[in-house]
Structures are given as structure tokens and as C-alpha cells.
Amino acid sequence: MEIEAPAKINLYLNILGRRDDGYHEIDTLFEKISIRDTLVAELAGKKTNIVCRNPDVPTGPDSLLSRVIYLFNEKTGKVYNFTVELEKRIPVSAGMGGGSSDAAALLKAINGLTGFPLKMGDLLEISRELGADVPFFLHEASFAYGRERGDVIREVETSVDLWHIIVHPPFKVSTKSIYGRVSRFGLTKNSGVDKMFTAFLRENNVDGIAGNLHNDLQRITLEEFPALMEVLSELKKAGAKGTLMAGSGPAVFGIFDKKDAIQAKLGLDAIFPAKENWEVFVAGTYRAPGGSPGAKAAHMTQ
């Protein structure tokens, strides 16, 4: 079984407080984008084998993908083995949710390979153990709000398609380190920003979305990596309607008109060259194959 694992960006990310479990209470709007990994999974005999050619992706018994299979077997009460091959395109440790998306894709794939023994509620329980972003990727909607740790998901039905240029710099950021410094910068009060974005999404108001992008983590990451300020500036000069850092970074993005994105990318490729290990992508909103948002999730509950 082959399944796609799309990246995500956050169109806004507000940090509301610190939780007793060590995580932070957040309010965010996720968007899946068309940069995606591909995962192929099949039932195996006596042993599970996970392969990825990217050396930055763990595949051993303590890896996130191995933990997906362990928790699935624990929940079903069975001992299944699988062969898993992951083709990685989403940058690693970039704030784009690649590891979480891969975990959700594998969970959906192995549930399908074994005849759908688990319903959506069971899958969500497993996904919350795997990571705060994993439940979003388990849902099929292109846009969704994330609350609490980011793992309480409310899908948004919208036909809007956004176009982005994403710039990924040649360094990594520790999500744990960035969140660990949040209290120094204060916290956002919940201001009902979700209602504003819901209106923008329903009205296909791209300018409204682009003009209200916000990320509480951005100033923390910029303090540690001031080079990102130049990237944000160059995106604006290239014609971005709005710019923001993806998650905890270091990838940053701009929202563009579709007709301008390709030409803008050519200019940014020259400023942030691949030979110096920069990556520049054009990506649109990701739509799940096979029908309307939520269709596959509904199938899993049957």
C-alpha cells in the first residue's frame, strides 16, 4: 500500500500557557501543503523492516515509525510485522511536521492492510501518544484548528487554495529548545482569532489570511537565528502577500498569487542557492486524494 504524507504549515500559532504535562497549551490553524513524503507499507512475515535513504530519519527499534507499529499491535492485541519504505521529501527538523505526517500515514496504512481493525477513535488515541501534531495528519481535511497541545482537532471545510514559497535554510532548530524559552517572551491571550480565520477561509479571502499570519514562536527563533530575518525580507521583496515561520522553524514561507510564485522562486533560488544547501519550494494547499475531506476518515470508522 502506498500513501502520501503531506507537510504542514501553521497560518497562526498562539501559545496560551504551559500545561502540567510539560507541553504548552496552543491555539493554531494548520494547513497541509503539497510538499509530501511517500510511504509504502506491506504485511511481512517474522520481522518488521523500515527503510529510508535519508540518514537523518531514524528507522531503528526506538524510532517514531517503529513506535507506530508497537502501539498498533498493543491496541489490536495482535503481533503484526510490516515492511516499510519511506521516500523523504519534506525537510527534516524544519517545523513542517514531516515526522508526524509520516507517523500518521503509517498508522492509516497498517490499519488498512490488516482489515481496518481500529476505528477512528482508537487511531486518535494512538496518534496522541505519538506526538502533538500527529492527530491533525490523521484527519483528511486540508485546514484544521488545533487546540490544547495541538492534538484536539476541528476541521474546516473550505475550497480556498493557497500558494506558498517555502524557504528551508541549511540549519536545524530544536523544537524543545524553542518552546523552552516561551515564558521569557510572554504568552498570547486567546482573542477569538479562529473566528476571523474561519470567515477568511469561507470567503476565500486570501488577502485576509495573508495579512493576519502570526506565530508566537517566530521572535524566539529569530533571536537565535537572525539570518531568518533576511529570508522573510526577501520573500516580501519577491511579492509575498504575507510571511511567517513554519512551526518552530527554521523553514519560513510566504503566501503568493499563483501566477507570481514560479517567477518569484527563480529569483529566490539565486539568493538562497542549493549549492549552499538552501531549499526553495513552491507548494499549494494539499487536497487528500479520493474525494472530499473526511471521506477516508469516515471509512475507517465503519
pLDDT digits (tens, 9 = 90+) for 35-69: 999 999 999 998 999 999 999 999 999 999 999 99
Model confidence at 301: pLDDT above 60: no
On whether both 129 and 46 belong to a single domain, the answer is yes
Do 134 and 103 form a contact (C-beta atoms < 8 A)?
Answer: yes
290 confidence band (pLDDT: 50, 70, 90): low
| Own/partner pairs, 190-196, CB within 8 angstroms, 24+ separation | 190/14, 190/16, 190/27, 191/14, 193/12, 193/14, 193/27, 194/27, 194/29, 194/145
**For residue range 115-141, what is the model confidence (pLDDT) as tens digits?**
999 999 999 999 999 998 999 999 999
On whether both 38 and 135 belong to a single domain, the answer is yes
On whether both 51 and 113 belong to a single domain, the answer is yes
pLDDT of residue 293: 34
Cell of 32: 497541509
On whether both 174 and 81 belong to a single domain, the answer is no
pLDDT of residue 299: 31
Model confidence at 98: pLDDT above 90: yes
Cell of 34: 503539497
Name the strands in the sheet holding 279-284, side by side, starting at the edge strand that comes first in the sequence. 242-245, 252-256, 163-168, 279-284
Cα angle for residues 72, 87, 36 (degrees, 5° grid): 90
Model confidence at 22: pLDDT above 80: no
DSSP state, residue 275: G
More confident residue, 301 or 113: 113
Distance between CA atoms of residues 118 and 75, nearest Å: 8
Handedness of CA 82, 85, 90, 95 (dihedral sign): positive
On whether both 73 and 10 belong to a single domain, the answer is yes
pLDDT of residue 240: 97
The mean pLDDT value for 155-178 works out to 89
Distance between CA atoms of residues 52 and 87, nearest Å: 6
Model confidence at 276: pLDDT above 80: yes
**For residue range 179-233, what is the model confidence (pLDDT) as tens digits?**
767 765 555 655 678 899 999 999 999 999 999 999 999 998 998 899 999 999 9
On whether both 43 and 140 belong to a single domain, the answer is yes
Cell of 133: 501534531
On whether both 12 and 149 belong to a single domain, the answer is yes
**How much is the pTM?**
0.89
On whether both 123 and 108 belong to a single domain, the answer is yes
On whether both 92 and 219 belong to a single domain, the answer is no
Beta strands in 19-101, from DSSP E residues, in sequence order:
24-44, 49-52, 81-87
On whether both 114 and 218 belong to a single domain, the answer is no
Cis ω before 250 (30° cut-off from 0): yes
pLDDT of residue 189: 59
On whether both 68 and 212 belong to a single domain, the answer is no
User: Structurally, how many domains does the chain consist of?
Assistant: 2
Which residues are tagged catalytic? 8, 133
CATH number, domain containing residue 133: 3.30.230.10
Q: For residue 244, what is the enclosing H or E element? A: strand 242-245
Domain that holds residue 112: 2-157+290-300
